[in-house]
Structure 1
Amino acid sequence: MNKHQKIAQCFSPAAFIHDTEENYLAIEMLIREQEIGGLTFFHSRHSAAANFEERAEILAVSGTFEKMIGLINRYQTISKIPLLISIDGEYGLAMRVEKTPQYPFAITLGALKKDAEKWVEEVGYRMGLDMKRSGIHINLAPCADVNTNPNNPVIGYRSFGDQTEKVARLAFAAYSGMKKAGIGACLKHFPGHGDTATDSHLGLPILHKTKAELEMEELLPFQYGIDRGVEMIMVGHLAVPALTEGKDIPASISRELINDLLKGEMGFKGIVISDALNMKAVVNRYPEPGELEWQAFYAGNDILCFSDHVADGIEKIAQNASDEEVDVVFEKVMNLKKRLGVMEFQPIEIPSFDWESHSQLQKALAESYVSVISGNINPAELHSLAEAGKLGYREYFTTETNHFIKQLDFSFSPIDQAEKVILAVFVPSHKPLNQFGMDQSVLEGIKELAKSKPCILIHFGNPLALKHLGELEDLEAVICGYQGFEEVQGVVAKTLQGL
């Protein structure tokens, strides 16, 4: 293979499942003419940098899963060397593909009260099996970010929490589960995106910490993984001036951070993957097509994700990199392909999912993470209030009668006649934008009701949204469900009924 062909193996541009035929043909051209090494699948152009809950109501599309399998088969068939297929599925295929198994968010798994590492590894394993059966070789997950900034606009529910040691253990457990399933996984976003206030999809986050502070917090989960043989790490688009001689340069294109710190001081010998090279944190720095790709390669990235300028990038790297540098990276990518079974491509049949087994797992997990986080629940009192016509119920941010109220064996009375009220809040979004999608006037109504009579709040959603629901002291008790899954609703209903 010539130099250009070897460099092309580093490229994994975006492939959109819902797209035009013209764009599908453009991907085919990249495969045929540039001989790229892989593809990273996204739902659609509209949603490329967004997570699933933000776009469900905007896009009316169906058959995503079947379409993705069809595209993987179509693209693999025409590639001389089988393609390395990646997806960013932190909570499973469902992060990008409807009607596929969704697993709990990292923040939810961080709340597991018993055998957390065992359960998180099992979740990683199940997620990995879903992907492997679907023709995917790498899940660009899990996050090893420590979410110490509760107002972080981009990490939040994607992190296992704000305790460094716990994040280190659970991120490694998730990684290990995926590896056990036979796919690749990567810790991200090195050197740690948890204590930032800017979304790197939109701008450059800058982390103002000393190296000693970073080693105690941000870097620790990555070092924990490296010491245990983690084979892949994704580098994020965030600047850490303390590690780059005071420069505000994104880690993803910083030779000091990747080559000197990650590979040198921290001893990482595996594959380095760049975060998406179309993100605003980096894309505006190098207007000349191909220059960003060269900078990312020079900094020490082995796989270049989501490049918008593949041909120019290959050309620039070929001009600037030595044959020896190219060979080293090419060997790493080819060895990865062999390890993950990429080279033995067979057309994929559309797999079916074991939904019953998935639901049993969800229930077992919910029984461990659903928590009474404030006050106490007295089921006997709730039953007697219901029998006396003194128990009220109100739910928020739902459009239809849900599973939860059907599980409750209580007779409810109008709020004005009730002595006590159960408030079920189904948080609309897991992202902090616009108060997690909660309308301010509705929030005010919840706070007023909590002050007027004893209330039990059931919080189905990201626990970081609790701060918008008033003072916990104003509520008699708070149950955090973390998610809105039906299995979670069932567990909460049993908690209220003392079952």
Structure 2
Amino acid sequence: MNKIQKIAQFFSPAAFIHDTEENYQAIERLIIEQEIGGLTFFHSRHSAAANFEKRAESLDTEGTFEKLIGLINRYQALSKIPLLISIDGEYGLAMRIEKTPQYPFAITLGALKKDAEKWVEEVGYRMGLDMKRSGIHLNLAPCADVNTNPNNPVIGYRSFGDQTEKVAKLSFAAYSGMKKAGIGACLKHFPGHGDTAVDSHLGLPILQKTKAELEAEELFPFQYGIDRGVEMIMVGHLAVPALTGGKDIPASISRELITDLLKGEMGFQGLVISDALNMKAVANLYPEPGELEWQAFHAGNDILCFSDHVKEGIEKIAQNTSDAVVDAVFEKIMDLKKRLGVMETKVVEVPTFDWESHSQLQKELAENYISIISGEIHTSELQSLSKKGKLAYREFFTQEASRFSQDIKLEFSPIEQAGKVIITVFVPSHKPLSQFGMDQATLDEIKELAKSKPCILVHFGNPLALKHLGNLEDFEAVVCAYQGFEEVQEVMAKTLQGL
């Protein structure tokens, strides 16, 4: 192979499942003419940086999974060297593909009370198996970001929490589970995106901390993983002036950060993958096509994800890089492909999922993470009030009666005559935008109700949304269920009834 062909293996541009035939053919040309090394799959162009809620576009999403498998087979058939297929599935294939198993968010798994590392590894393993059976070799997850900024617009539910050591242990456990399933995984977003207030899809977050502060918090989970043999790390688009000589340069294109700090000081010997190079934090810095790709490679990235200028990027890197550097990175990528079984790629059949086993796992996890955040719940008292016609129930942000309301076998009375009210909130969004999708009028109604009667709040959703429900001391008790899955509602109903 010549130098150009080797450099082409460093590229993993975006491929969209729902797209035009013209765009599918453009990917085919990249495979045939540029001989790229891999593809990173996304649901559709409008949702490339999002997941399922409130899609901006209206398109026919029927058969997304079958379409994905068809495209993987179609593209692999054209590639001389089998493609490394990756996806960004932090909570499973479901982050990108409808009607596939969805696992709890990282913030939920961070609430596990017993054997958390064991359970998180099991979740990583199950996710990994789903992907491996689907022809995917690499999951661009988990997040090793410590979410210390509660207003973080882009991490939040994607982090295992705000405790550094817990994040280090659980992100490594998730990584280990995926590796056990035979797929690749990576810790992200180095050097740590948890204490930022800007979404790097839209602008450049700048983290003003000293190196000592960064080592104690942001860098700790990455060092923990490196010390235990993590083979891949993704670098984020955020500026950390304390690590780059005072410059506001994105980490993803900073040689000081990737080559000197990550590979030098921290001793990382694995593969570095860039975060998506189309993100606004870096995409607008270099108007000349190919220059961004060269800067990212020169900084120390081995795999260039979501490049919009593949041909020009290959040419720029070839002009500026020695054969020895190219050969070293090429060998690392080919070694990864061999380890992950990419070279034995066969035609993928559409797999079936064991939904019963998945449902059972969801129940066991829910029993472990559902938490009483404040106050106490006396199930016998609820039974007694119910019999006396003194217990009321209200649920918010549901379109129809929830599974929880059907499973809870208590008699409810009108609020006016109740001595106590069970309030359930099904948080519409897991992202902080627009108060997690909760309108102010409804929030005011919940707060008023909590002040007027003794209330038990059952919160199905991101715990970071609790701050919008007023003073939690106004509720007699607050239970956080973290997710709205049917299985979680079932477990929550049993918990409330003491079953």
Residues 48 and 146 (structure 1), Cα distance of their counterparts in 2 relative to 1, 3 Å cut: same
| Correspondence 1:20-419 to 2 at 5 A | 20-55=20-55, 58-419=58-419
Shift of 1:390: 1.1
**Counterpart residue type for residue 185 of structure 2:** A
Rounded Cα–Cα distance in structure 2 between residues aligned with 1:191 and 1:455: 43
Q: Partner of 1:6 in structure 2?
A: 6
SS in 2 for 1:53: coil
Rounded Cα–Cα distance in structure 1 between residues aligned with 2:401 and 2:73: 41
Rounded Cα–Cα distance in structure 2 between residues aligned with 1:433 and 1:167: 24
SS in 2 for 1:233: strand
Rounded Cα–Cα distance in structure 2 between residues aligned with 1:64 and 1:34: 27
Q: Partner of 2:492 in structure 1?
A: 492
Shift of 1:419: 1.4
Rounded Cα–Cα distance in structure 1 between residues aligned with 2:367 and 2:246: 48
Name whichever of 301-310 and 384-393 sits farther off: 384-393
Ranges of 4+ aligned residues in structure 1 off by more than 6 Å: none
**What is the CA deviation profile of residues 265-313 of structure 1, one whole-angstrom value per residue up to 9, with x for unaligned ones?**
0000000000000000000100100000000000000000000000010
Residues 103 and 497 (structure 1), Cα distance of their counterparts in 2 relative to 1, 3 Å cut: same
Rounded Cα–Cα distance in structure 2 between residues aligned with 1:365 and 1:53: 23
Shift of 1:53: 2.2
**Counterpart residue type for residue 85 of structure 2:** I
| Correspondence 1:433-452 to 2 at 5 A | 433-452=433-452
| Structure 2 unaligned blocks of 5 or more | none
Shift of 1:478: 0.6
Rounded Cα–Cα distance in structure 1 between residues aligned with 2:488 and 2:412: 21
Shift of 1:58: 5.0
Name whichever of 384-393 and 10-19 sits farther off: 384-393
**Counterpart residue type for residue 262 of structure 1:** L
Rounded Cα–Cα distance in structure 2 between residues aligned with 1:282 and 1:380: 58
**Counterpart residue type for residue 87 of structure 1:** I
Rounded Cα–Cα distance in structure 2 between residues aligned with 1:28 and 1:59: 23
Rounded Cα–Cα distance in structure 2 between residues aligned with 1:180 and 1:122: 9
Residues 56 and 277 (structure 1), Cα distance of their counterparts in 2 relative to 1, 3 Å cut: closer
Shift of 1:196: 0.3
TM-score by length of 1: 0.99
**Counterpart residue type for residue 299 of structure 1:** A
**Counterpart residue type for residue 368 of structure 2:** S
**Counterpart residue type for residue 16 of structure 2:** F
**Counterpart residue type for residue 123 of structure 1:** V
Query: Is the Cα–Cα contact under 8 Å of residues 46 and 56 in structure 2 kept in the other structure?
Result: no
Shift of 1:487: 1.1
Rounded Cα–Cα distance in structure 2 between residues aligned with 1:332 and 1:69: 27
**Counterpart residue type for residue 161 of structure 1:** G
**What is the CA deviation profile of residues 346-390 of structure 1, one whole-angstrom value per residue up to 9, with x for unaligned ones?**
000000000000011000000000011111101111111111111
Query: Is the Cα–Cα contact under 8 Å of residues 35 and 80 in structure 2 kept in the other structure?
Result: yes
Q: Partner of 1:459 in structure 2?
A: 459
Shift of 1:152: 0.4
Rounded Cα–Cα distance in structure 1 between residues aligned with 2:43 and 2:253: 27
| Structure 1 unaligned blocks of 5 or more | none
Query: Is the Cα–Cα contact under 8 Å of residues 250 and 282 in structure 2 kept in the other structure?
Result: yes
Name whichever of 49-58 and 129-138 sits farther off: 49-58
Rounded Cα–Cα distance in structure 2 between residues aligned with 1:155 and 1:468: 18
Shift of 1:61: 1.4
Rounded Cα–Cα distance in structure 2 between residues aligned with 1:53 and 1:221: 29
**Counterpart residue type for residue 47 of structure 1:** S
Rounded Cα–Cα distance in structure 1 between residues aligned with 2:373 and 2:217: 26
**What is the CA deviation profile of residues 47-93 of structure 1, one whole-angstrom value per residue up to 9, with x for unaligned ones?**
00012224299554110000000000000001000000000000000
**Counterpart residue type for residue 185 of structure 1:** A
Rounded Cα–Cα distance in structure 1 between residues aligned with 2:256 and 2:379: 59
**What is the CA deviation profile of residues 88-110 of structure 1, one whole-angstrom value per residue up to 9, with x for unaligned ones?**
00000000000000000000000
Rounded Cα–Cα distance in structure 2 between residues aligned with 1:10 and 1:337: 12
| Correspondence 1:459-478 to 2 at 5 A | 459-478=459-478
Shift of 1:256: 0.2
SS in 2 for 1:17: strand
Rounded Cα–Cα distance in structure 1 between residues aligned with 2:53 and 2:218: 28
Q: Give the paired residue count.
A: 499
SS in 2 for 1:425: strand
**Counterpart residue type for residue 209 of structure 2:** K
**Counterpart residue type for residue 456 of structure 2:** I
Rounded Cα–Cα distance in structure 2 between residues aligned with 1:219 and 1:52: 30
**What is the CA deviation profile of residues 97-140 of structure 1, one whole-angstrom value per residue up to 9, with x for unaligned ones?**
00000000000000000000000000000000000000000000
Name whichever of 328-337 and 59-68 sits farther off: 59-68
Name the Cα RMSD after superposition: 0.9
Query: Is the Cα–Cα contact under 8 Å of residues 234 and 272 in structure 2 kept in the other structure?
Result: yes
Query: Is the Cα–Cα contact under 8 Å of residues 46 and 57 in structure 2 kept in the other structure?
Result: no
SS in 2 for 1:282: helix
**Counterpart residue type for residue 49 of structure 1:** A
**What is the CA deviation profile of residues 368-420 of structure 1, one whole-angstrom value per residue up to 9, with x for unaligned ones?**
00011111101111111111111111111110112101110111111122111
Query: Is the Cα–Cα contact under 8 Å of residues 140 and 185 in structure 2 kept in the other structure?
Result: yes
**What is the CA deviation profile of residues 220-244 of structure 1, one whole-angstrom value per residue up to 9, with x for unaligned ones?**
0000000000000000000000000
SS in 2 for 1:52: coil
Rounded Cα–Cα distance in structure 1 between residues aligned with 2:216 and 2:236: 19
**Counterpart residue type for residue 232 of structure 2:** M
Rounded Cα–Cα distance in structure 1 between residues aligned with 2:289 and 2:464: 40
Rounded Cα–Cα distance in structure 2 between residues aligned with 1:103 and 1:193: 22
